[in-house]
Amino acid sequence: MRQITKRGFMGSFGTTEIILIVAVLFLLFGASRLPQLAKSFGQTRKAFKDGMREADEEERLELEQKQIASTPVAPVISNLNDEDLLAEMRRRAEVKQ
């Protein structure tokens, strides 16, 4: 018994359908224009991918900057007086536990 699987839109194209689509493209645009169309499609696809990559990179950088800005800065120990130094040491010991 043959099991029927549900495939997505692109997965349902077979060899016959692809040949039919290419033949229709030849009829609509002619053999001379198809390489130009394929080249422009490739350039558009590359530009889209580059734009998506840039957007992802910008988002990652913004997230890193927010994390850096929200990280509390520990006071410089050499500038603290004895009482503040003792309080800072206790705070750090509590954080470690």
Please report the pLDDT score of residue 91 as a whole number: 87
Angle at 31 between CA 29 and CA 32, to 5 degrees: 90
Is residue 7 assigned to a domain? no
Number of domains in the chain: 1
Please report the pLDDT score of residue 10 as a whole number: 57
The CA distance from 32 to 26, in Å, is 9
Q: What is the pLDDT of residues 46-91, one digit of tens each?
A: 999 999 999 999 999 999 988 887 777 766 666 778 888 888 889 8
Domain residues for the domain of 61 are: 44-72
Is residue 5 assigned to a domain? no
Q: How far is CA 64 from its chain centroid? A: 15
Is residue 23 assigned to a domain? no
Q: What is the pLDDT of residues 7-55, one digit of tens each?
A: 555 567 789 998 998 888 888 888 888 888 889 989 999 999 999 999 9
The CA distance from 53 to 56, in Å, is 5
- For residue 39, give the 3-state DSSP assignment: helix
